[in-house]
Amino acid sequence: MTVAADPVELQVGTRTVRVSSPDRVYFSARGETKLDLAHYYMSVGDGIVRALRERPCMLHRFPDGVDGQKVHQKRLPKGAPDWVQTVEIYFPRFGRTADELCVTELASVIWAVQMSTVEFHPWNSRCADVECPDEWRIDLDPMPEASFDSVRRVAHVAREVLDELGAVGWPKTSGGNGLHIYVRTEPRWGFSEVREAALAFAREVERRIPEDATTTWWRKDRDPRKVFVDYNQNARDHTIASAYSVRGNREGTVSTPITWDELDSVDPRELTIATVPARFASMGDPHAGIDDAVFSLKPLLEWAARDSPGSPA
């Protein structure tokens, strides 16, 4: 009979976080464990806290490792220490509320790992005003027959449009086959307006590179060789894996911030919990300046009005 290893206590800032079952294998491709996952998040502490700070956060938990069942957790798991902060979220569709994790320090991240969390999926708004996003998300989602080279080409066009708008885009791998680009925005508009702005941007990208990009909504109607510019990731309560979030696959890939100069050479499959810590130690966080580059959505909302049915030609 296999005997489970004793719990391990980790010092995280001023907190002590107890990690039980530290030897449980979470990522079967190379045998990384729950403790390896905790050490990974500690190694990118500044980056993961910057990505999650003060945002309502849904947790993707894997109590038996990523080969087992995935639990989508909106409500904070029971047993949280009193220093773990939360924010109450109202879900109109169900008429219910939930207290979601609201990270303000790295210890909260490591406690979530203790509770079997692998992926962190934050809102694009902050706890102070959850109804007004301060982050516009451009999700480049390749269809089954689209290559990562297609994603690269669409990303270059997206950057071209962002530059013309005067917006700074911060790219990262998705941890899968796609790419995300984040833009900090003024928290002046609601989710519906941010989504309208995102759709106007997506349509402009599609106009410029129609051979690779699509905004076709229904998946069954999309060309399988194209990249979907998914504007709906900006709708209320839609979340995607944060920067530095590990993904729930056997390889333990990481949604990793990159520089624009890396776009044509990066291989997302090589960015894992085994490789990203050394990368972070050597180059720091490519998203370190993201909070200092704030964009107004007004030009995109003007584009949205221009594109709406009945608008003047």
| CATH number of the domain where residue 54 is located | 3.90.920.10
Give 51's contacts (C-beta < 8 A, 6+ positions apart).
120, 122, 242, 243, 244, 245, 287
Q: Is residue 313 part of a domain?
A: no
How much is the pLDDT for 273? 98
Give 131's contacts (C-beta < 8 A, 6+ positions apart).
125, 190, 191, 236
Q: Is residue 258 part of a domain?
A: no
DSSP of 56-71, one letter per residue? EEEEEE-TT-TTS--E
12 lies in the same domain as 126: yes
CB 105 within 8 A of CB 91: no
Average pLDDT over residues 198-214: 98
At 31, is the pLDDT very low, low, confident or very high (cuts 50, 70, 90)? very high
85 lies in the same domain as 27: yes
110 lies in the same domain as 95: yes
Question: Which one of 130, 161, 195 terminates a domain?
Answer: 130
Number of domains forming the structure of the chain: 2
144 lies in the same domain as 51: no
| SS3 call for 263 | coil
pLDDT, greater one: 298 or 4: 298
**% the chain with pLDDT above 70:** 97
82 lies in the same domain as 178: no
Q: Is the per-residue pLDDT at 311 higher than 60? A: no
Average pLDDT over residues 28-56: 98
123 lies in the same domain as 171: no
**% the chain with pLDDT above 90:** 94
CB 179 within 8 A of CB 171: yes
How much is the pLDDT for 94? 83
Q: Is the per-residue pLDDT at 247 higher than 60? A: yes
How much is the pLDDT for 3? 58
- Domain of residue 159 covers 135-237+293-307
Average pLDDT over residues 14-30: 97
Whole-model pTM: value is: 0.96
Question: Which one of 76, 108, 130 terminates a domain?
Answer: 130
159 lies in the same domain as 297: yes
Q: Is the per-residue pLDDT at 5 higher than 60? A: yes
What is the Cα–Cα distance from 159 to 169, expressed in whole angstroms? 7
CA dihedral 230, 152, 174, 182 (to 10 degrees): -60
Q: Is residue 288 part of a domain?
A: no
Q: Provide the mean pLDDT of the chain.
A: 96
Q: Is residue 106 part of a domain?
A: yes
Classify burial at 301, counting beta carbons within 10 Å of its beta carbon; exposed 0-12, middle 13-18, buried 19 or more: middle
Question: Which one of 130, 157, 189 terminates a domain?
Answer: 130
